Structure 1
Amino acid sequence: MNTEQTDEHLRRRVTAHSALADVTRLRIVDLLAVSDRSASELGLTLGIASNLLAHHLRSLEHAGLVTRRRSEGDGRRSYLSLNAHDAWLLREAGAGTAQVRASRVVFVCTANTARSHLAAAAWRRVSDIPATSAGTHPGAAIHPGALAAAERHSLDLPDVAPRPLDDPVGRHDLVVTVCDRAHEELGGRDWAHWSIPDPVPAHTDLAFDEAYDSVVGRVERLADVVTDG
């Protein structure tokens, strides 16, 4: 056993547990367990002042539990998400959210050409609850990079035409946006939001593989809390 790695692991655990030893910070982590949120969205849900929220977010970021990235839509906004690399720490701390019932999960992005299709395909691999994908402004076809990434990872991704988001969506549908623009366009009509960078502009295998990895990790977390209903 490598003593240095063990000591570093222990230090990270101490730092994480110290950051989580606060009711408000635990609530923040629970809210971020299945959905990324902006600071203003967190503040509205928690009902706390912006300066106090900023203090708690700094503690979580310093501990490496929370990261933030600039919106690809409204560049004035940033989204906070749990650090997937420290998911084991969050499980150890009991982070999570209450069970939610859904008859179908609908993954939404702007063009419905990459991220939303990958998310729906990844969901079908881990859950029997039906899933589909849609776009707020659907493109002409699934991006070849998404199809290639699915093939590399043995993910069954049908080459179907992008489709528009039904308006309104079904009463028992669970809507999850996987791009910032769609989330901001829906204005709160989605149940959860995942701020996943668009791989299409980069048009590289690496960009699509990173989108795939992000989608799969989040789908697995979501599947833990969604029950058939």
Structure 2
Amino acid sequence: MERRVAVHAALADATRLRVVDLLTLGDAASSELSERLDVPSNLLAHHLKVLQGAGVVARHRSEGDGRRSYWRLVRALPVAPGGAGLAVPARVVFVCTANTARSQLAAALWRGASTIPATSAGTRPAERVAPGARAAARRHALDLPDVAPQHLADVGPAGDDLVVTVCDLAHEELGSVSRVHWSVADPVVTGTRAAFDRAYDELAARVAQLVPLLGRAC
């Protein structure tokens, strides 16, 4: 009961609800939240501290720029997100650095959940998709096309595309081009079955959460 009271109390503020709305779409650094909400950094820090204390949000260090950290939602909330939606894009473009695992899996998951077209790309594409990603797709009966990684420039995202970064480094390289960011740990680093399954599970949950939000009024 005390935890429930703390969550409701933390959400009883318009700015904190707006923070939750933004984090419903994806993860964000404090500077990004401050800019998008037009809230001074010191005031935002107070609101984030309240949300963190109630167990609503948490932050973790970037895998790219280690001086940077990202906030994310960590629990289901007793209120539905409002005003966090995005206009329906022509296409969803999932981006990571090498385009060998996370972005490939995300695009495949998206194609199974939405009629909006999806593709994937990398800012520094490798030569082939990681074997661990292919194995994870097989374990989860996911149709992962047998294609080579491609560069983001070759995909040519347009203004009516939604670029979703699933890699901290790619997000930090692309800046405002990345409208939505999912800070997913790179499973290729450890290369274990468990790491790839964790990445798959997180991406599947994120896709399931984003699909119904597209098309809501911004």
Range into which the TM-score falls when normalised by the shorter chain: over 0.9
Q: Alpha-carbon deviations, 1:164-220, whole Å to 9, x = none? A: 113751232111000011111112111111111111111111111111111011111
Match among 108, 129, 154 for residue 142 of structure 1: 129
Q: Alpha-carbon deviations, 1:58-112, whole Å to 9, x = none? A: 11111111111111111100000111xx22x2xx312241342111100000000
| Structure 1 residue 221: Cα displacement | 1.1
Distance 1:100 1:131, change over 3 A: same
| Structure 1 residue aligned with 2:28 | 37
Counterpart of 1:148 in 2: which secondary structure? helix
Aligned length: 213
What is the aligned-residue RMSD (CA, Å)? 1.3
Identity %: 59
Match among 175, 185, 188 for residue 163 of structure 2: 175
Unpaired runs of 5+ residues, structure 2, are none
Distance 1:174 1:99, change over 3 A: closer
| Structure 1 residue 119: Cα displacement | 0.3
Which aligned pairs between 1:181-196 and structure 2 lie closer than 5 A? 181-196=169-184
| Structure 2 residue aligned with 1:115 | 102
Query: TM-score normalised to the size of structure 2?
Result: 0.93
Separation (CA, whole Å) in 2 of partners of 1:65 and 1:119: 25
Give the residue type in structure 2 aligned to 1:197: A
| Structure 2 residue aligned with 1:152 | 139
| Structure 2 residue aligned with 1:63 | 54
Structure 1 stretch 118-127 or stretch 97-106: which is displaced more? 97-106
| Structure 2 residue aligned with 1:103 | 90
Find runs of 4+ consecutive structure 1 residues off by over 4 angstroms. Answer: none
Match among 215, 219, 226 for residue 203 of structure 2: 215
Unpaired runs of 5+ residues, structure 1, are 1-9
Give the residue type in structure 1 aligned to 2:57: V
Query: TM-score normalised to the size of structure 1?
Result: 0.89
Separation (CA, whole Å) in 1 of partners of 2:105 and 2:29: 24
Which aligned pairs between 1:53-92 and structure 2 lie closer than 5 A? 53-83=44-74, 86-87=75-76, 89=77, 92=78
Separation (CA, whole Å) in 1 of partners of 2:10 and 2:159: 38
Check whether the contact 1:104–1:130 (CA below 8 A) recurs between aligned residues.
yes
Check whether the contact 1:17–1:93 (CA below 8 A) recurs between aligned residues.
no
Separation (CA, whole Å) in 2 of partners of 1:44 and 1:198: 27
| Structure 1 residue 13: Cα displacement | 2.4
Structure 1 stretch 145-154 or stretch 161-170: which is displaced more? 161-170
| Structure 1 residue aligned with 2:12 | 21
